[in-house]
Every structure is written in structure tokens, then in C-alpha cells.
Structure 1
Amino acid sequence: MKLKQWGSLLLSCMLSVSLVVGCSSNGSGGTKEPDSSGEAAAKINETGFPIVNDKITVTGFAGKFFANADWNNIKLWQEYEKMTNVHVQWDTVQKDNLAEKRNLLLAGGDYPEIFYASAFPRADLLKYGKQGAFIPLNDLIDKYAPNFKALMEKYPVIEKGITMPDGNIYGLPTLFDPEFRSVLYGTPWVKSEWLTKLGIAEPQTLDDFYNMLKAFKENDPNGNGQKDEYAWGGVKTTGIVNYLRGSFGLNYHGTSNINVDTDPESGKVRFIPSDPRYKELLQFVNKLYKDGLLEQDIMSVKSTEVDAKGMEGLLGVVDNVDPVAIYNQEGYVGLPVLKGPHGDQMFSATGSPLGNIGMFVLTDKAKNPEALIRWMDYFYSDEGIRMFFMGWKDETYTEDADGNVDYVDDIKNNPGGLNLDQAVGQYLIWPGGYYPGFVTQKYFKGAEGLPTSVENAKKAEPYVIPQDKIWPPFNFTADEQSELTGIQADINTYVEEMSDKFISGNESFDNWDQYVATLQKMGLDRYLAIYQSAADRYTK
């Protein structure tokens, strides 16, 4: 049930330029507008159900998780077929093989009418859209998707974020309700019992934070006479660095474009990992590491090892969702947003409400694109969201007099020994986190929806950067993407390697200028110019 666990979306293996989808059914490399006249359009009921009077069969491809039952027999799709008269013949592949399989389908030309939960990266949406394999959705949304259109009008970031530089929309996204704060951000969790036992107040500054971790490490807060406590529990250094970014005045636009934001002095895009403030951040984390307040193998530790310590209650701070949900450990509260050395007290480790934008794609093989966009649009409505996440009243969920919903006991405490994801996955397909749709607090029952998570988010709220300042991941033109791909991959790899070396002490901060000079040689100026163009388009 951990949404964050699946939060990082698949990056596609890029097909070489020679693998052109020239075998698409329109026979051209141009963009194909859907046919909204004639026999196809005549079958469509523009509102209500069924969507079509005579049943149609559609081919669909999707990524799925092990917890899900066979999609061709799962209740969600069976019931929705009864409502819509749209039968989808599903071809599914496990998430780990998704990128390879979807790319092979496109390269061979034997692809379906719908790509669902297929997590296409933005570059692929533009690439296959320009080749004509993916059809533009702009007019279809305008005419046949009132629920999604209403969300675009309410939250302008959606339309701006899903529109490619050519003006077309080629995919529908996973959306996170901007009012569902705890799914968008959440600080790490601190064991309040240890604070009380050691007589420590919740930290407010970096010095407080350091002293708290040091006390957890050295003063036996679990009272067993052994120094077996771990001050900070997390995998890799990303969590601690992201938590502290705002305290050093970094990432004014959130973390969707993790390495860039706006320089407060010049107003231009800056590269954060070469900024002096980022150096200060790494120096502070290096101090934590050097003094044993982070695991000495944090760069390579496996999540299972951290989880084992969490289950034993040995973690003072947990960099994950509420430990009650994953470790069955109660009594953790959200860490405060810390004031940094220059007076910054900002929580910027938050992404955009716009998730992966390539979760629902219509190809040029779609015979009834109008029916299919209506089919998808239902899951952006309140009624559709409830069915997608909760199922059916009195069968899979109950509802109280105030409208609060919860799964029935057979799902929450499955008699066959299934965990919650597995039990839900016999009826619904959302466990695992791969789907187009709208995630709301009312219907999402993962860890981020727990009352404790909601309180954690409220605690951070006064310091979170405003929603209208948060950037979604940028869209690039084909030429920009072609140039950026190589530069960015090399720069990102180098930054990750060097950040860990600086933190661990394997690289001296005396060599910082040499590190920055190497970035320049790798094409940093061009990298920034491309991001500046994308930022200008977005803010226009």
C-alpha cells in the first residue's frame, strides 16, 4: 500500500532512430487526427451509459503488478463492460518487463488500440505522436471528456504539463488531488517516545537536528543497555538531502525537475548541484555521516535491511511513509521543517500533482477513439474514482452515515491470509500504483491517507512552497530532447556519484571547484539553456 514505493516512474529504453513506426495504419509519418464522423461517431452516446449501444471489442496493453488478478477476468473490467458495452481484450505484462515489451510492440507495428498503465516517458509521447502512432487527444478531450476537462480548467498545471511543445496532448495522466496534501509531500517521521525519554524537544534548526540524532545514537533511548539504535533510517542519501533542500534555500519549484530551479538573484534557471548552497547542504550531511548519525553503508544498504531494523523499533527517524503502516510501529510524528543557516525554512521536497502523463494513450489503430476517451474519462469523475479505488458498496466497501468509506473486513483481514494489496487486487487493479486516474484522499486507502499522515502534512503546510510555484516535469521539443538525452544522463550520473563521495568523505570539499569545472566540460551551459527554454515555455 506504499504509494511512495512505486512513485518513481519507469524510464523507457530509448529505441534507436532507425526503429521508426512507419508501419502505423495511417501509413504516414505525420500526425493523424481522429475521425469523428461517419460510422465510428454514430455509435457513440455522448453522455451516460452505455457508451455504445452495440458492444465493441477493443485491444488494450497494460503494465500490471503481481497483486492483480487476470485483467480479462477481474471484476472491475467485467462490471465496467456491463456499464459501457466496451469489451477490452487485455494483454498485460509485469512492470519489470513493461518498457521492453511496449517498445517491441511499437517497433514491430503490432500494437493495440489502447496503451493503458504503460508509463510512457514524455520523449516517447512526442516521438510516437509525431510519427502518427499516437493520436492527439485535444479535440477528443474537449468534446468527450467533461470530467478530465473540468480538472484541467480547475488546475491549469495539468494542461500545461501534458501539452507537448507541438501543441498536442498524446497521453492522459495519473493525477494527485492538490488538496490531498499528504500524498504530495510528507516529512520524515521521528520516534516521539525517544524524544520524551531523552527530554528533547522536536528540532527546529539544523543544530537541533544534529543534536537529536546524536542523542538517539549515543544515549540508549530504547533503554536496553545497548547502542543498537539507528538515528536515521533510510535507503541511500536522497531522502536526507531532499528533506534538507528547502532549509538551504534550494528547489523553489519543487523536485519534479530535481536539479534545476530559479536563481533568486538572476531570475534565470540555475543548476542546483553546482550552487554554493548545495555544497553547504552536502557539508552538513557529511558531518552527520562522519559522526555516525547515518549508516556507514547508507549508499548501498538494501531496503530489506532497513525494514528489518524498522520492524524491531530501532529507527529514530524513518524516511518513508508512517511506520505504523510498514513496520507496525506506532508513536512516530512528522519531523518539523528546519530553519537553515541563512534563515530559510522552506519545505521544497514536493512534486507536482501531475504524475506520469503517458498512462493512457490511444493509437492510430483505435476504431472508436470517441468511445475510448469517454471510457477513460469516467475514472476522472467522483463516481468513477470511487469504483476504481473502492469497488462496490456492501461487497468490497462499506459507507457510514457521513459518507466515509472503508474496505469490508474480508479485504482488511482476509481469511485466506492475503495482505491488503493482494486482497484488493482480486477485484481492482490499482495496487502497485500504475494507472491513469485521479487520486483523492477520500478514496485512497494507502499509508498516505492515514490520519497521522494527514497531520504530518498539516505540520509542514506553513512552510511548503505554494502550489502555483511548483513545476511539473518539463516537456522538451524533439530537437531539445535529442540533444539533452546524452548530456543529462552523463551529468546526472556524475552528480549522484560525486554527491555520495562528498557525503562519505571519499572526495574532499577542497575539490569542489574542480567538480564544477568538470560539469562545465560535460555541457552544463547547454543543459541549462535547454531547461531555460522549457521553463520559458511553461511560464509563458
Structure 2
Amino acid sequence: MTRFKSMKSLAVLSLTCMFALAGCSGNNSNSQGNVSANKGTNASASQNTGDSGDTQSTDKAVWFSSVSFWTPPMTWSTDPNTVQGAITEKTGLAFDFNIPAQDADTKLSLMLVSSAALPDVMTITNDVLAKKLIQAGKVWDLQEFLTKYDPQSHLLTDFPADIKQVITERDGGWYAYPSHMGSEDARKQYPPSDPYYEDGVNYRSNGAIMVNEKLLNEAGLKLEDIQTEEGLLAAYKKIKEMDLKVDGAPVIPLQVDGKGYQDTTLADLQNMFGVMPVDKDGVYRDRLLAPETKHALSFLNQAMNAGYIESGQLTMDTTAVKSAVMSGRVFSFIGNTANTGFSDQDFWVSPGPILSSEGTKPVMGKSLKAGGGWMQTYIAKSTKYPEKIARWLSFMSSDEGLRLHYYGFEGSDYTLNEKGLVVQTDAGRQASADFAKTGVFAFWPFHHIAWHDSKTQAPTEKTGADGLTAMQVQTAFGKSPETVLYDNSPLSLPADFIASGSKLFNDQEQIKVYREAQISKIVMAKDQNAFNALYEELISKIKQLGMEAIDAKINEQVQKQAKDLGVTLTGVNS
């Protein structure tokens, strides 16, 4: 039994019931087994992959995505020795990608209200926009779509029942194919191949502090020296005084997560210092109002004034953050580790949570309820190629299709071990790293966590997205005996819970703009007196703008959902 599951006896987590995100029945109709895609072959697939019918002629569909940083190969190759070409060979489809660099949701919304044809396939993350597409009758219910155009599809019998229920409750039907599935039902179908992956399910999170072990050793420090707030600040001071350099450039004691630091770096410090979105009575409150948030802000302010953080970091984009981290001159990073490229280097480690000098317990919320995925893929009713898109949807989600677009081609990109588990070759790892060119590992909307963890050999190398380095850094917080884990599933609100255009919605928008500007002022405050004044101004102003009324409204829904789920949420600190 994992520590997470054994927490039922604690006040913080009482259960009767992701990014961890298939039916419950053991009757899996996906008959692909260990079929693999091989370069240059033309073997026919079973009907469950949707490979029946005429795929000799190739049709080109449009695939829209609102995820601007998703970068699949923009020129679709029809060469069967490429991942894209193998997909075309199986389905008769090629794609033109439409991935706007900015304002993608707005652009799709304009298409929806204009006479312009919608893209054939739409992968988005905005639940409100998805609801507009559904209410306008522009996208298919997948049960109806597959029954009509690919009645032999494995998705009609093995799609995870718990995830389908979440999507149906959210959207009013099974309209979306979700990415990164990893629910209880998905894991019944695809059990983890190794305890290594079970740790990922139970404890993994992108949000973490990671430390450059080379610089740690150079400074004569050990990981246990920096597990407390006092110890970490002392390490920063020592690094600064030693004037350590890498390739002639000074070492950066602390790198924050660029212009998005408030949603990542600050949020992770809030977790380390024990901020929960409920108080000791279980009443919802915005995390900004928790006393521990002031302490998290104070930590950043101290680091800024001591020169441990460079002020320019607060406006850096993700590319610049990644470049700084990959340069080797960053001693520590706090924030979304997925933004850094750290998994390609073998010298990153994490001490777990940094323990607050105020003695509060670090907290980590994870949902024990099935999630509806991150990227949601919808099929337009206006598509001219419904049969081929149905076959494509079935193929991409089949064992054969997943193995193809996750890992490429057997023999060159991966081999199978004695247990039939995938082992990537060096060429395959390089192809994955170059996914924007090769297509290997590029099709994020179809990433399936449970399938991956079931079909893949646990890594023995340090580098790579699932390598030993990445797993240690991203599970250290959750696995720490100091961390209190709690089920945060009651905190997921319906997308339109506070209606657009309402007074509460407008108040939320005003608070968002104000708080972003004020928090940066607080972090850069010149001394303690200025810090205190700016913090008090923040709390006073957001209350004046209606924060407490918004929290009261959200609390009603949270309490209802907690009751429905059988979850008791109780703050463990303030």
C-alpha cells in the first residue's frame, strides 16, 4: 500500500472513493498485441486499428491546436519510412497543422461564429471553448461517430470507463478524446510494468526544486544541507561569496521560472511552505490569502535583495529559462521542471520540499478521481473525411498506433525485451529528442500514460524524459516523509462555474490583473518595511475587489463536490 493510499486515517484525507491521468471490464478488444510497425512493410492491420476500407488514396485534413508550444513536424511526410507516412499508409490521411503562435482560442472562436469551415480535427485545452463547440452542434459525440463510421473500433469497448464518465459529466457526452490518460480503469487494462512507474503515478509532479549536483559538490555541500529554508539560503550565500563561475560566467544561485513564475515558482514555494486552498475548518479560500503565502513571497524577496535571483528572470520566456538552465551555470531552479530540458542532463537532483523556518508542513495535492486529460481532441461534423478520421482515431489510440508514434520503428528505434517491453535504442532516444523533425513522440494528443508505463521497460539510464534523473527530481517532493498528500479532486470546478460577463467574473479578471502586478512589486521590494506595506496593500485591495465573495461562491461548489466524492478536505497548517 502506498503512503498516499494509507492516508485515509488522517484528518486531511478521508475518502470513500492528474497530468497522471480502458474500460473497467477485463475484456480488451484491442487485438493488436505486440504487433509493431516496421520500416518499409505493408502488412495489413486488424480491423480494430480502423485499417479496413480504401486507404489507397490520400486525403489531407486540417488539424488545429491551441497549444502553441506543441511542435509536431509541420510538413507531413507520406514516406512510409517516417512515422507520419506510416500513419498515412494505415489510414489514408495526411494533415496540415494549424497551430497559432498566440490567441489560438480567439481564432477558433471566430471560426465558430463565422461562415468559415472549422478544422477537421481540433485539439484544445479550454473547457469553455469546448462547451461552445458542443452547444453549437459543431463536433461529434464520439460514441455516435465511431458507431457510424468505424463500428469495429476498439475505442467502443475498451476506452477507460472512469475517464469517459468524467468527460460525459463535463461535456454532456463523450465528445473528446483526451491526452495523457492514467486513471484507475486505464491501469487495470495497462498495469505498470515496474514499481518505478508506480512511483510516477503516486508522486510525480513537474513542480519541484532541483539542484545542480556538480555545483553542489564544488561548493562543498550535500543535499541534506539544503533541505531547510535556512540551509538553502545559506547555500545561496556561500555560492555568491565563492564567486563560482562556469565557462567564465558567474553561477546563478536561484533561477525562477521566467515570466510565468507566479503560477509555478511561487506556487511550488507555497506548497513547500504548506499553503492549502482550505482553512482548518475545510472552508475554501484563495491560496493568496493563506498566511504561509506571505512567507513564500518573503523568501523570493530575500533572494532578490541578496542577489541570488537576477531581476531580469521575472520577464524571461520559456526558451530563455531553458537556455539558462542548460548552460550549467544555474545552481538551483524552482518551478515547472518541464520547462527546463533538465532531463537531458544527468547532474540534477532534488532535496524534496524545502522546509519552512516557520515549521509548517509541506503539502501536495493530487486528484484520486479520474481526470479528463490535458489536451482534448474534437472531430468537426463538417469534415469531408469522416470514415478516414474515424479509422485514424482508432489507429492512433491502438497498441500498434501508440507504439508507432511513441517509439518509431522496431529494430532501428526500439527493441523488445524478453517480457515484450519496449527498450529504446540510442537512435530511438535521439529521434524522440528530435520529435519536431522525426514525428517520434510528437503526437501528444494521443499520449497515454497507463499504456506507456505498461509497455515500456523501466529505464536504467539517467537521462531522458522518464530517466532516473527526471524521476528522482519530480518525485522527491511527494515521496518525502515530511510531505502531507491530500486529494484535491473536489477543487476542480466546472469550466463555466463563474459565468463569463457576470459581476464575479469581472471581479476575478480585475483581481488577476492587479495581483500579477502587485506580486512582482512585492518580490522586488527594497526592504522589509516596503515588503510589509506592499503585502498589506495586496490583501486589502483584493478583498476590496471582491475576493471574499468569489471565495464564498467557490466554497459552495467545493463543499458540494467534496460531499459527492466522499472527500474531507482540512487545512493542515493555518
TM category, shorter:
0.7 to 0.9
* Matched letter for residue 387 of structure 1: L
Q: How does 1:302-341 map to 2 (within 5 A)?
A: 302-303=317-318, 306-307=321-322, 309-319=324-334, 321=337, 330-341=346-357
**How far apart, CA to CA, are the structure 2 residues paired with 1:322 and 1:162?**
26
| Residue 103 (structure 1) aligned with residue 109 (structure 2) | yes
| Residue 376 (structure 1) aligned with residue 376 (structure 2) | no
| Residue 296 (structure 1) aligned with residue 303 (structure 2) | no
Match of 1:519 in 2: 542
| Residue 189 (structure 1) aligned with residue 210 (structure 2) | yes
1:446-490 deviations in whole A, cap 9, x for unaligned? 943122112233433324665843568532347724436533332
* Matched letter for residue 292 of structure 1: G
1:105-134 deviations in whole A, cap 9, x for unaligned? 323344357324x32410011112112112
| Residue 282 (structure 1) aligned with residue 303 (structure 2) | no
Q: How does 1:490-505 map to 2 (within 5 A)?
A: 490-505=510-525
Please report how far the alpha carbon of residue 501 of structure 1 lies from its aligned counterpart in structure 2 after TM superposition: 1.1
Query: What are the ranges of 5 or more consecutive residues in structure 2 without an aligned counterpart?
Result: 1-18, 20-44, 184-197, 565-574
**How far apart, CA to CA, are the structure 2 residues paired with 1:537 and 1:165?**
16
* Contact 1:389 1:443 survives alignment (8 Å): no
Q: How does 1:36-75 map to 2 (within 5 A)?
A: 48-55=48-55, 59-63=61-65, 68-71=73-76, 73=78, 75=82
* Contact 1:189 1:334 survives alignment (8 Å): yes
* Matched letter for residue 211 of structure 1: A
**How far apart, CA to CA, are the structure 2 residues paired with 1:468 and 1:152?**
21
Q: CA RMSD in A?
A: 4.2
Residues 380 and 530 of structure 1, relative CA distance in 2, 3 Å threshold: farther
* Contact 2:322 2:339 survives alignment (8 Å): no
Q: How does 1:81-480 map to 2 (within 5 A)?
A: 81-83=88-90, 86-88=91-93, 90-96=95-101, 98-99=104-105, 101-112=107-118, 114-116=120-122, 118-137=123-142, 150=158, 152-153=160-161, 156=162, 158-159=163-164, 161-163=166-168, 165=170, 167-175=172-180, 177=182, 179=198, 180-181=200-201, 184-185=205-206, 187-202=208-223, 203-221=226-244, 228-236=250-258, 237-238=261-262, 239-251=264-276, 261=277, 263-303=278-318, 306-307=321-322, 309-319=324-334, 321=337, 330-348=346-364, 354=371, 357=374, 359-366=376-383, 372=389, 375-401=392-418, 403=420, 405=422, 409=426, 421-422=433-434, 424-428=435-439, 430-431=441-442, 434-439=444-449, 440-441=452-453, 447-463=464-480, 466=485, 468-470=487-489, 474-477=493-496, 480=499
* Matched letter for residue 93 of structure 1: N
* Contact 2:256 2:314 survives alignment (8 Å): no
Please report how far the alpha carbon of residue 240 of structure 1 lies from its aligned counterpart in structure 2 after TM superposition: 3.3
* Contact 1:228 1:314 survives alignment (8 Å): yes
**How far apart, CA to CA, are the structure 1 residues paired with 2:279 and 2:422?**
45
* Matched letter for residue 168 of structure 1: G
Please report how far the alpha carbon of residue 250 of structure 1 lies from its aligned counterpart in structure 2 after TM superposition: 1.6
Please report how far the alpha carbon of residue 306 of structure 1 lies from its aligned counterpart in structure 2 after TM superposition: 4.8
Residues 538 and 70 of structure 1, relative CA distance in 2, 3 Å threshold: farther
**How far apart, CA to CA, are the structure 1 residues paired with 2:343 and 2:474?**
20
Residues 471 and 96 of structure 1, relative CA distance in 2, 3 Å threshold: farther
Corresponding residue SS for 2:64: strand
**How far apart, CA to CA, are the structure 2 residues paired with 1:358 and 1:499?**
30
* Matched letter for residue 114 of structure 2: G
1:300-336 deviations in whole A, cap 9, x for unaligned? 2455555555454321113464999559754221132
* Matched letter for residue 278 of structure 1: T
Corresponding residue SS for 1:188: strand
**How far apart, CA to CA, are the structure 2 residues paired with 1:196 and 1:279?**
32
**How far apart, CA to CA, are the structure 1 residues paired with 2:153 and 2:127?**
22
**How far apart, CA to CA, are the structure 2 residues paired with 1:150 and 1:340?**
46
* Contact 1:114 1:360 survives alignment (8 Å): no
**How far apart, CA to CA, are the structure 2 residues paired with 1:475 and 1:385?**
31
* Matched letter for residue 227 of structure 2: Q
Match of 2:35 in 1: none
**How far apart, CA to CA, are the structure 2 residues paired with 1:407 and 1:378?**
22
Please report how far the alpha carbon of residue 361 of structure 1 lies from its aligned counterpart in structure 2 after TM superposition: 0.5
Residues 244 and 328 of structure 1, relative CA distance in 2, 3 Å threshold: same
* Contact 1:184 1:350 survives alignment (8 Å): no
**How far apart, CA to CA, are the structure 2 residues paired with 1:149 and 1:188?**
42
* Contact 2:289 2:539 survives alignment (8 Å): yes
Q: How does 1:16-35 map to 2 (within 5 A)?
A: none
**How far apart, CA to CA, are the structure 1 residues paired with 2:487 and 2:497?**
27
* Contact 2:208 2:268 survives alignment (8 Å): yes
Please report how far the alpha carbon of residue 526 of structure 1 lies from its aligned counterpart in structure 2 after TM superposition: 4.1
1:489-524 deviations in whole A, cap 9, x for unaligned? 322222221111111116532343432232133232
Corresponding residue SS for 1:318: strand
**How far apart, CA to CA, are the structure 2 residues paired with 1:264 and 1:111?**
49
Corresponding residue SS for 1:71: coil
Residues 128 and 534 of structure 1, relative CA distance in 2, 3 Å threshold: farther
* Matched letter for residue 70 of structure 1: T
Corresponding residue SS for 1:298: helix
* Matched letter for residue 229 of structure 1: V
Corresponding residue SS for 2:356: coil
Please report how far the alpha carbon of residue 354 of structure 1 lies from its aligned counterpart in structure 2 after TM superposition: 4.5
**How far apart, CA to CA, are the structure 2 residues paired with 1:482 and 1:146?**
42
User: In the comparison of the two structures, how many residue pairs are matched?
Assistant: 473
**How far apart, CA to CA, are the structure 2 residues paired with 1:485 and 1:72?**
45
* Contact 2:273 2:356 survives alignment (8 Å): yes
The TM-score, its normalising length taken from structure 2, stands at 0.69
**How far apart, CA to CA, are the structure 2 residues paired with 1:367 and 1:242?**
45
Residues 516 and 131 of structure 1, relative CA distance in 2, 3 Å threshold: same
Residues 233 and 350 of structure 1, relative CA distance in 2, 3 Å threshold: farther
Match of 1:27 in 2: none
1:141-186 deviations in whole A, cap 9, x for unaligned? 8987655875633xx4x44653455633432222154744586335
